[in-house]
Amino acid sequence: MCDFRFLRSKNLSMPAAHRPAPFHPDLAEVLLTEVQIKKRIKTLAREIKSVYGNREFTIVSLINGAVMFTADLMREIDNPVRLDCIRVSSYGLKTKSIGAPQVIHSLTLDIARRDVLVIDDILDTGKTLKLVCALVRKLKPASLRTCVLLDKKARREVALEADFVGFEIPDKFVVGYGLDFAERYRNLSGIGVLKPEKQNAGDWASE
């Protein structure tokens, strides 16, 4: 079962008796339900708004993983927001990152002298966000901040913390709400841990 001590902040710990049952048969446990995510996104939007005020800013969303998070977060913010997306190489058929991530598709908007907020689904080793921040910085934005829905602090390999964090989670491979395993399960409305027997990429590789 999930150790909810890791959901330390924001009043998210949940007594064992109230932990939700898995909402998908392939999940061993649920970390975050759709309701919990939506609730946290509302407060996260207020935190972001308190920094930018009513000013315009540019969101750089890391696709595919941050698609759902970005869409829901943006709609809680009434600033004149610009949106661009960037695609970085993914884990492929693995549950651990290997080697250095690479930018596969870069930005199209001009972000020079703009306030930029980079959004990703999860901060794990930190290599992906570090790469994207370096790329953005080269384009001379007025400011650069980062926002992630999930933070797996235990796995960090580079010194990097996000400015805005939705939830801190334990070191478990999670899927749902944009996060995938071998490109599957992004469509789940909540976030959970796959059953070990479902973490076999070979099952998907031949399809």
Q: Which residues are catalytically annotated?
A: 124
The count of residues in the chain is 207
The number of angstroms, rounded, from the C-alpha of 123 to the middle of its chain's C-alpha atoms is 7
Query: Does 141 interact with ligand IMP (rule: CB under 6 A)?
Result: no
Which of ligand IMP, Mg ion, none does residue 176 bind to, with CB < 5 to 8 Å depending on kind? none
Provide the 8-state DSSP code for 181: B
Q: Which does 169 bind (CB under 5 to 8 A by kind): Mg ion, ligand IMP, none?
A: none
Site for Mg ion contains 65 (CB under 5 A): yes
Q: Which residue, 126 or 190, has its beta carbon nearer to ligand IMP?
A: 126
Sequence-distant contacts of 155-159: CB under 8 A, at least 24 apart: 155/124, 155/125, 156/123, 156/124, 156/125, 156/126, 157/125, 157/126, 157/127, 158/125, 158/126, 158/127, 158/130, 159/126
Interaction partner, residue 91 (ligand IMP, Mg ion, none; CB < 5-8 Å by kind): ligand IMP
**Binding residues among 14-53 for ligand IMP as defined by CB under 6 A:** none
Site mask, ligand IMP, residues 67-106, x = CB under 6 A? -----------------------xx-----x---x-----
H/E stretch holding 44:
helix 34-52
